[in-house]
Amino acid sequence: MVGIGIGGALLLGLFAWRIGLPPLVGFLASGFLFGALGVERAPWLADLAHAGVLLLLFAVGLKLRIKTLLRHEVWGSALVHLLVTGILGAGVIYWTAGQSWSVAIVMALALGFSSTVLAAKVLEGNRELRSVHGRVAIGILIVQDIVAVVLLGVVSIETPSPYALLLLLLPLTRPVIAKVLDYCGHGELLVLFGAGLALGGGELFARFGLSAELGALLLGAMLADHRRAEELTGVLWGLKELFLVGFFLSIGFSGPPTWEALGTALWLLLFLPVQGTLFFLLLVASGLRARTSFLTAVSLTTYSEFALIVADVEVTNHFIDQQWLVVAALTVGLSFVAAAPLNAFAQELYRMLAPWLEKLERDKRHPDDEPISLGSAEILVVGMGRVGSGAYEYLRQQNENIVGIDSDPAKIESNIREGRRVAYADTEDPSFWQLLNLDRLRAIMLAVPDLEAKIATARALRARGFKGLLSATHLYPEEYAPIIAAGCDVSYNYYTEAGVGFARHTYETLRGSAPSAAPIPDRASLL
């Protein structure tokens, strides 16, 4: 059964990817297909799905800043959205489904939640977790998760343990956990540490009657400012992706779908645009730009897997029929299918709607949403990771007037501590380049890891009329041609260039001359 499940997910995931959809659409389809064929859910699937969700949320926590939750655009939008959708949804369910008001309110609130798993996966895959819209979206999802814990306590027979307050002491263990992380090296012990902390943290919260998912996320957040947080995220990537296949497969096994259940699910799906529109209006009203509000709203326009949990509890307590669990599974699954391509083309969709959406912006901008000035800088490094910071150091040694930008607050803080001039910017925002004064810049270096981000940035710069030198990095040979076609003058494979720098460093030492401080190839001096 393991081979059949993974094989089916692989085939349909590959098919979805080949026609331009995210693979998870294929994973969902394979789960529904197995369910329709009467295939019984394997015992291992639930554990696999649960582990995948915990690993994902732990990875999200590693990139989370708790102070984000304290902003009014986060908690205010989350709570007002739940209040409005709860009132409207409860009325609809009461009058159309014939349920009692108590059941209608609980079900409406459950459908008002957005999927933490899907949103986190999409944002992480697009490397947008620490962009403005990524941070706001994750913050709203965390507020929803906290409300979900309370709601689950209301509808469930089980209640949180009175000893759950002891979990407030958990941050005191942070120094010990961080010290263990320092000793774990870079191999399998690091993978085991991350998996153990994610699964163990979830189990700990579950033992106290709280959400295991919330526990994994908060355990990750405790290590968000650790110097090895990014490395830990990287080593857990493949493990998390494999386990998450089980989550998407499991949605289709809630029960055999019927035409009646499918019709109800499609009817409920019509309310998704209302959910997304409400998020957009609330975020714009809080001072965020139309683009940030739109991208945040798109990432939140899904139904949550939490609706499945609530439906299961309601069925167990005989408040609703078993058929509602099937309806909930179909509704959540179909919302994922609809949201996946919507998220994939969110940037293009916004560019089409921007002339109308931007009319709704407030005059006063959110501090994180303001474009920045580069001052007197003549060279700009986009992306201040290891490659970008290394390039920055080399050019600073050449007495160049240089500045760096990044969308990751943690990287910005790290670079500033090391004395570099770095500022926040969402470089995938076309309006950023439109509002930025590029007159003094002689060169722009694109050191962001994502290929699509480099291509989009290069096109935006050339469309703006930038005539200076535009250079980029690439990882695979097939990435070179698209980068050059997008408008870059040069692109360097940094694995190859690292070898050149290593050889030069060795050769200079062999000759008795002092090796340069930064092993960056001489071709960088073209700037």
* Residue whose entry in the numeric block shows the structure tokens 């977790």: 129
The pLDDT, as a whole number, for residue 20 is 67
- Angle at alpha carbon of residue 218, lines to 111 and 210, rounded to 5°: 60
Q: How far apart are CA 332 and CA 306, in angstroms?
A: 9
Q: How far apart are CA 204 and CA 199, in angstroms?
A: 9
CA atoms within 13 A on the CB side of 387: 23
Give the model confidence (pLDDT) of 145-190 as tens digits: 778 766 765 665 556 677 778 888 888 899 999 999 988 887 788 8
Average pLDDT for the chain: 80
Q: In CATH terms, are 2-160+175-360 and 374-526 the same topology?
A: no
The pLDDT, as a whole number, for residue 517 is 46
DSSP code per residue over 98-144? ---HHHHHHHHHHHHS--HHHHHHHHHHTT-TTSHHHHHHHHHHHHH
Give the model confidence (pLDDT) of 218-273 as tens digits: 888 888 888 888 788 878 877 877 787 877 777 767 666 777 878 888 888 888 89
> Which is nearest to 527 in space by CA: 432, 341, 437, 402?
402
* Residue whose entry in the numeric block shows the structure tokens 């294929």: 26
The pLDDT, as a whole number, for residue 523 is 37
Residue 524, pLDDT > 60, answer no
Indicate the CATH number for domain 2-160+175-360: 1.20.1530.20
Q: How far apart are CA 56 and CA 74, in angstroms?
A: 21
Contact by Cβ (8 Å): 84, 278? yes
Contact by Cβ (8 Å): 407, 427? yes
Q: How far apart are CA 343 and CA 81, in angstroms?
A: 20
The total of other beta-carbon atoms located within 10 Å of residue 326's CB is 22
Residue 424, strand partner residues? 406
For the chain, what percent of residues have pLDDT higher than 70? 85
Domain ranges within the chain, ordered by starting residue = 2-160+175-360, 374-526
Question: What pTM was estimated for this model as a whole?
Answer: 0.67
The pLDDT, as a whole number, for residue 294 is 93
SS3 content of the chain, % helix, strand, coil (to 5): 70, 5, 25
Give the model confidence (pLDDT) of 11-31 as tens digits: 888 887 777 666 777 887 887
Give the model confidence (pLDDT) of 18-68 as tens digits: 776 667 778 878 877 887 777 777 777 778 888 888 887 788 788 776 666
Q: How far apart are CA 125 and CA 71, in angstroms?
A: 25
Q: What's the chain's Rg over C-alpha atoms?
A: 25
Those residues with Cβ within 8 angstroms of residue 457's Cβ, 6 or more apart along the chain or in another chain: 382, 427, 428, 433, 446, 448
The pLDDT, as a whole number, for residue 444 is 94
CA distances from 523 to 265, 289, 396, 403, 481 (A): 59, 40, 15, 19, 19
Give the model confidence (pLDDT) of 300-359 as tens digits: 998 887 777 677 666 666 766 777 777 887 888 888 888 878 887 888 888 888 888 888
In CATH terms, 374-526 corresponds, of 2.40.30.10, 2.30.40.10, 3.40.50.720, 3.40.50.1820, to: 3.40.50.720
- Arithmetic mean of pLDDT, 386-402: 89
Q: How far apart are CA 182 and CA 184, in angstroms?
A: 6
Q: Which of 78-82, 106-110, 257-261, 515-519 has the lowest mean pLDDT?
A: 515-519
Residue 142, pLDDT > 90, answer no
